[in-house]
Chains A and B, each alone.
Chain A
Amino acid sequence: MQNEKNNTQENLSPLLAKSTNTIVIVHGAWSSAKDWHYVAGYLNSEENNLITVNLPGHGNDETPISDISLQLYVYEVLKAIGDETEVTLIGHSFGGIVVSEVAELIAPQIKKLIYIAAFVPKSGESLLSLAQTDTESHVGKNLIVDEKAGVAGIAKEAITDVFLADAPKAVADYVTNTIRPEPLAPLATPVTLTDANFGKINKVYVHSLNDHTIGYSLQQKMVKDAGISRTYSLPSSHTPFIVFPQILSAIITLESK
Chain B
Amino acid sequence: MKKLKVIQILIVALMFILSSCSNDDEQPLKSTNYVLVHGAWQAPYAWQAVKTNLEKQGNTVIVVELPGHGADQTAPGEITLDTYKQKVIDAISAIDGKVVLVGHSLGGMIISSVAEAVPEKIEKLIYVAAYLPTSGQTLDQLAHMDPDSHLGVEGNLIMHTDTFTIDVKQDQIVDLFIQDGTPEIQSLVVNNYRTEPLIPFINPVTLTEQNFGSVKKVYIKTLQDHVISPYLQNKMISTTEVESVYEINTGHSPFLSQPDALTSLLTKISNN
Given the interface pairs A233-B204, A250-B198, A254-B199, the reply to whether A220 lies near B161 with Cβ below 8 Å is no
Q: Chain A 238-257, CB within 8 Å of chain B: the 1/0 string?
A: 00000000110111001001
A216 CA to B134 CA in the complex, in Å?
14
Interface pair B138/A254, CB less than 8 Å apart: no
Interface pair B164/A235, CB less than 8 Å apart: no
Closest to B204 in A: A233
The listed residue (B159, B198, B202) touching A233 by CB distance below 8 A is B202
A257 CA to B75 CA in the complex, in Å?
13
Given the interface pairs A216-B136, A220-B136, A247-B159, the reply to whether A232 lies near B164 with Cβ below 8 Å is no
Q: Is A234 an interface residue (CB 8 A)?
A: yes
Closest to A254 in B: B77
For window 115-155 of A, CB contacts with B under 8 Å fall at none
Q: Chain A 200-225, CB within 8 Å of chain B: the 1/0 string?
A: 00000001010000001000100010
A232 CA to B140 CA in the complex, in Å?
11
Which of the listed residues B137, B161, B164 has the most CB atoms from chain A within 10 Å of its own CB?
B161
Given the interface pairs A209-B141, A220-B136, A235-B141, the reply to whether A251 lies near B204 with Cβ below 8 Å is no
Residues of A within 8 A of B161 (CB): 42, 246-247, 249-250
Secondary structure call for the B interface: loop
Interface pair B202/A234, CB less than 8 Å apart: yes
The listed residue (B141, B162, B203, B204) touching A250 by CB distance below 8 A is B162
Given the interface pairs A209-B141, A247-B161, A250-B161, the reply to whether A232 lies near B202 with Cβ below 8 Å is yes
Residues of A within 8 A of B162 (CB): 250
Query: Count the A-B residue pairs with Cβ separation under 8 angstroms: how many?
Result: 48
Interface pair A230/B80, CB less than 8 Å apart: yes
Residues of A within 8 A of B164 (CB): 250, 254
A233 CA to B201 CA in the complex, in Å?
9
Residues of B within 8 A of A250 (CB): 161-162, 164, 198-199
Closest to B139 in A: A233
Q: How near does chain A come to B157, taking the closest CB pair, in angstroms?
A: 12
Q: How near does chain B come to A46, taking the closest CB pair, in angstroms?
A: 15
Residues of B within 8 A of A209 (CB): 138, 141
A216 CA to B138 CA in the complex, in Å?
13
Interface pair A233/B199, CB less than 8 Å apart: no
Q: Chain B 130-172, CB within 8 Å of chain A: the 1/0 string?
A: 0000001110110010000000000000010110100000000
Q: How near does chain B come to A1, taking the closest CB pair, in angstroms?
A: 19
Closest to B199 in A: A254
Q: Is A231 an interface residue (CB 8 A)?
A: yes
Given the interface pairs A249-B161, A250-B198, the reply to whether A233 lies near B80 with Cβ below 8 Å is no
Closest to A217 in B: B136
Residues of A within 8 A of B138 (CB): 209, 233
Residues of B within 8 A of A234 (CB): 140, 202
Interface pair B140/A235, CB less than 8 Å apart: yes
Residues of B within 8 A of A229 (CB): 82
Q: How near does chain B come to A131, taking the closest CB pair, in angstroms?
A: 20
A235 CA to B204 CA in the complex, in Å?
11
Which of the listed residues B77, B141, B203, B204 has the most CB atoms from chain A within 10 Å of its own CB?
B204
Residues of A within 8 A of B202 (CB): 232-234, 247, 251
Q: How near does chain B come to A215, taking the closest CB pair, in angstroms?
A: 12
Q: How near does chain A come to B99, taking the closest CB pair, in angstroms?
A: 24
Interface pair B80/A251, CB less than 8 Å apart: no
A207 CA to B161 CA in the complex, in Å?
18
Chain A residues packing against B (C-beta within 8 Å)? 42, 207, 209, 216, 220, 224, 229-235, 246-247, 249-251, 254, 257
Q: Can you list 8 A-B contacts (CB < 8 A)?
A: A42-B161, A220-B136, A232-B199, A232-B204, A233-B136, A233-B203, A235-B140, A254-B199
